[in-house]
Amino acid sequence: MFTAFTTTVFPLSDLVFGASLYFPPLFRAVLLGFFFWLLVHPLLRDWIYSGEIWHPTLLDLSLFILCVSAAQWLLLNIG
């Protein structure tokens, strides 16, 4: 009895190739939210880091989360 193992040399090749082509919706929202953040952050940067805000990094992170949430909403309602 002869069994050829040549077909199963790398059994996860389909999974790895498929994962490189599929972008989950959350990844799309993070990517689109990052671009929104890149547009909004320079406009608010002077105010955020002026000393008026108690914790500028926390506000910056919150702004990013709001941008990702807005992107997720746009993807769900438009796309």
Burial, 30: exposed, middle or buried (Cβ in 10 Å; 0-12, 13-18, 19+)? middle
Lowest mean pLDDT among 23-32, 49-58, 67-76: 23-32
The structural domain count of the chain equals 1
Angle, CA 42 vertex, CA 37 and CA 46 arms, to 5°: 130
Q: What is the extent of the structural domain holding 30?
A: 24-77
Q: Residue 11: inside a domain, yes or no?
A: no
Express as a percent the part of the chain with pLDDT over 90.
59
The residue that leads in pLDDT, 44 or 24, is: 44
Q: Residue 5: inside a domain, yes or no?
A: no
Amino acid (one-letter) located at 73: W
Q: Residue 42: inside a domain, yes or no?
A: yes
Backbone phi and psi for residue 71, each to the nearest 5 degrees, phi listed first: -65, -40
Q: At 1, is the pLDDT very low, low, confident or very high (cuts 50, 70, 90)? A: low
Biggest CA–CA distance in the chain, Å, is 78
